[in-house]
Structure 1
Amino acid sequence: MVNDNKTLLQSDLVRLGSRLRFFRTQRGWTLGELARRTNLSEAYLSRIESGDRQPSLAVLFELARTYHTSMAALFEVEPPSSAVVVRSVDANVYEGNGLLYRLLSNKGSLANLHPIHVTIPAQRQNECLYQHEGEEWLYVLSGELRLTLGEEEHILQPFDAAHFDAGIPHRLDALGDRDTEILLVSCEASHALLRSYL
């Protein structure tokens, strides 16, 4: 019975972490940005999002306040959408980290793949490198893209693609005086699957 309770708690923590990650990525925030807004450490927030740490009520109140939502919303389970098609008129445009993006899937934060249409403004003012677990694949639709991966820079033209480990610090910049548009597919590592092998 004790082991069953531990398994249920772990499952709930992973689900809560996934929900919190959804709130953060929906706003285009990195863990560093969330840490700055909440005065919580980036490492602690990462462990909460991965389901490895049980947050206190005070931390949950702070996260709900930061996300401008209710405590109950942090625990809601997103019902999987039965919609297969995402119509362009239904895809909301979000802004975060100087980027404009539209989510191209209705499957929510519990899906394995997260396809996004991203517009990188030509005049984007951003010097930050970002990194997170998982991998990313991108495809340039228009404009010219500079992909910074660690110490390397790659210039991509329309119809070029890149596939990389998102744990490598990276940044996207539009080159020239035109915005750059890309398709980006992000796939986060499954913590539950990883733990099953350890």
Structure 2
Amino acid sequence: MLSHHESPAQFNLVQLGTRLRFLRTQRDWTLSDLAQRTGLSEAYLSRIESGDRQPSLAALFDLARTYHISMAALFEEEPLNRSVVVRQADATVYQGNGLLYRLLSSQGDGANLRPIHVTIPANRQNEHLYHHEGEEWLYVLSGQLRLTLGGEAFTLSPGEAAHFDARTAHRLDALNEQDTEILVVSCEASHILLRSYL
């Protein structure tokens, strides 16, 4: 969690450092081992892993090549050791923005994907459009959905899906005076630091 003394950039550097340390220790490599494999100094690698220094683009390429992963994978969070099963009886129903929703993952804020079961009441009294960072994918389970996306409206029936950039203003409405149930999977833009290089 971001502390009161950390800027977003510092927080992202610490997250990157944690990820890089995880990748190294997962392979049982010391900093010396990694330095020999990448040609980067131990001191430089140590400062990157501690979040004290922003690595150069060339250093990131060297690290990705050494770990045999993509550049984007360097910015993923390390796996979370939490329960992967969510029972219906354990899922709390929340209310917000005129919607009812249940979280379908126990991974919390540390996860990139956020699956949610959403019920859109037929009598929803909210006319606001929303936008945020990341992507959204939704799938209609029951009822009829009107998805307003930017200046366009789409009607979706059960079995139909939509995938869109969540920065586009959007809104969900139930049609035909019937509640609509959907699955929503959102993915926050977690690669802010990566985008700063590109």
* Same fold per superposition (TM over 0.5): yes
2:195 equivalent in structure 1: 194
Deviations 1:156-191 (A, max 9, x none): 000000000001100000001210000000001112
Q: Spell out the pairing of 1:76-155 with structure 2 (5 A cutoff).
A: 80-155=80-155
Q: Secondary structure in 1 aligned to 2:111? A: coil
Identical amino acids, percent of aligned pairs: 67
Corresponding letter in the other structure for 1:123? N
Residue pairs, 1:34-49, within 5 angstroms: none
**Alpha-carbon separation, structure 2, partners of 1:147 and 1:181:** 13
Q: 1:8 to 1:127 in 2, by over 3 A?
A: closer
Query: Hey, what's the Cα distance between the residues in 1 that align with 2:95 and 2:165?
Result: 24
Gaps of 5+ in 1: 1-5, 16-78
Query: What TM-score do the two structures reach when normalised by structure 2?
Result: 0.60
Q: Partner residue of 2:169?
A: 169
Shift of 1:141: 0.1
Question: Deviation string for 1:77-130 (max 9, x for gaps)?
Answer: xx9452111000111000000000000001111111000000000000111000
Letter in 2 for 1:118: V
Partner of 1:10: 10
1:11-67 CA distances to partner (integer Å, 9 max, x unpaired)? 27987xxxxxxxxxxxxxxxxxxxxxxxxxxxxxxxxxxxxxxxxxxxxxxxxxxxx
- Paired with 1:162 and 1:118, the residues of 2 have a C-alpha distance of 14
Displacement of 1:192 in angstroms is: 2.9
Q: How does 1:59-78 map to 2 (within 5 A)?
A: none
Check whether the contact 2:9–2:193 (CA below 8 A) recurs between aligned residues: no
* Separation in 1, partners of 2:96, 2:13: 26
Q: Distance in 1 between matches of 2:14 and 2:158?
A: 38
Q: 2:12 touches 2:193 (CA, 8 Å); kept in 1?
A: no
Aligned residue for 1:109, secondary structure, equals helix
Q: Greater Rg, structure 1 or structure 2?
A: 2
**TM-aligned CA distance change 1:84 to 1:157, over 3 Å:** same
What is the letter of the counterpart of residue 161 of structure 2?
A: A
- State how 1:44-55 maps to structure 2 within 5 Å: none
Q: Which amino acid aligns with 1:84?
A: V
1:193, distance to aligned residue in structure 2 (A): 2.8
Paired residues of 1:81 and 1:106 also in contact (CA < 8 A): no
- Alpha-carbon distance change, 166 to 186 in structure 1, aligned in 2, over 3 angstroms: same
Aligned residues: 129
In 2: Cα distance, 1:121 partner to 1:92 partner: 17
Q: So what's the TM-score if we normalise by structure 1?
A: 0.60
